[in-house]
Copies of this chain bind each other. A is one copy, B any other.
């Protein structure tokens, strides 16, 4: 393991091998896979066992991740940690698009804003970090709906939306049949547009943020005034947002809240 330098790196390199797909490793096979000696790997595993981060199955002799990691995992302040990882990329997207951009997650059947970067030239957007909005009438929310569920049936059966879709503007999609078709379209094209559906004068474009397991984790959007968002520039915005989402995906690994 000499290529890994510090023991901290080696520790996490070992932990990284324990996955959902392969949750158990023997000393010998781990040593071979890591191109290290059995005694070195044995000592790392044994020390992690003492710390509770690993346990050894008494029957098979194989090692698995221990309760201490579950405990530590529960102490992670997910939003802060997530924002720390994603904020630099959000800043870059804002610089490229020069509009206000957001990242949101699905929480309590609503759009929950976790981060926001204003553009100096951007419109003052009525949103704040920590606040929630309805799902059906924003690009962030429609993206989350389209990619988080296998179909509208699941959305209805889980009561994600209410029986009635509240109308905020004349453009709000207030009919379930229309929304279902809209989500099918969003899923196909890979992005959503909010055409003044929540607030007159405001247009937003949103894309999904996936993790390394292709699970949707959040959504990313840019918002601007209706008179500045031109259809011919839309494709450009979508590309910038998708690039940002891709970079975020590289930074969050298999994270899924």
Q: Which residue of B lies closest to A73 (CB)?
A: B73
In the bound complex, what is the Cα–Cα distance between A8 and B20 (angstroms)? 23
The reply to whether A69 and B69 contact each other, CB–CB distance below 8 Å, is yes
A61 / chain B contacts, CB cutoff of 8 Å: none
Q: Which residue of B lies closest to A52 (CB)?
A: B253
Given A74-B73, A77-B65, answer yes or no on A51-B9 (Cβ-Cβ < 8 Å): yes
Interface window among A10-18, A130-138, A199-207: A10-18
How distant is A64 from chain B, measured CB to nearest CB, in Å? 6
Copies of this protein in the assembly total: 2
The reply to whether A253 and B44 contact each other, CB–CB distance below 8 Å, is no
Question: Which parts of A73-120 form the interface with B (CB within 8 Å)?
Answer: 73-78, 80-82, 84-85
How distant is A253 from chain B, measured CB to nearest CB, in Å? 6
In the bound complex, what is the Cα–Cα distance between A3 and B129 (angstroms)? 44
Q: Which residue of B lies closest to A44 (CB)?
A: B8
Q: Which residue of B lies closest to A21 (CB)?
A: B75
Given A80-B57, A84-B57, A85-B55, answer yes or no on A68-B9 (Cβ-Cβ < 8 Å): no
Tell me the count of chain A residues lying within 8 A, CB to CB, of chain B.
49
A58 / chain B contacts, CB cutoff of 8 Å: 84
Given A7-B8, A8-B44, answer yes or no on A76-B84 (Cβ-Cβ < 8 Å): no
The reply to whether A72 and B69 contact each other, CB–CB distance below 8 Å, is yes
The reply to whether A64 and B77 contact each other, CB–CB distance below 8 Å, is yes
How distant is A32 from chain B, measured CB to nearest CB, in Å? 21
Does chain B have a CB within 8 A of A256? yes
Does chain B have a CB within 8 A of A154? no
Contact of A77 among B23, B75, B256 (CB under 8 A): B23
A-B contact pairs, 14 of them (CB 8 A): A6-B7, A7-B7, A11-B11, A55-B80, A58-B84, A64-B76, A64-B81, A65-B77, A65-B81, A66-B76, A67-B255, A69-B69, A71-B73, A71-B254
Interface residues of A (CB under 8 A from B): 6-9, 11-13, 15, 18-20, 23, 43-44, 47-48, 50-53, 55-58, 64-78, 80-82, 84-85, 252-256
Besides A6-B47, A8-B48, A12-B68, 7 more A-B contacts (Cβ < 8 Å) are A11-B11, A23-B75, A52-B253, A55-B81, A65-B81, A67-B253, A69-B75
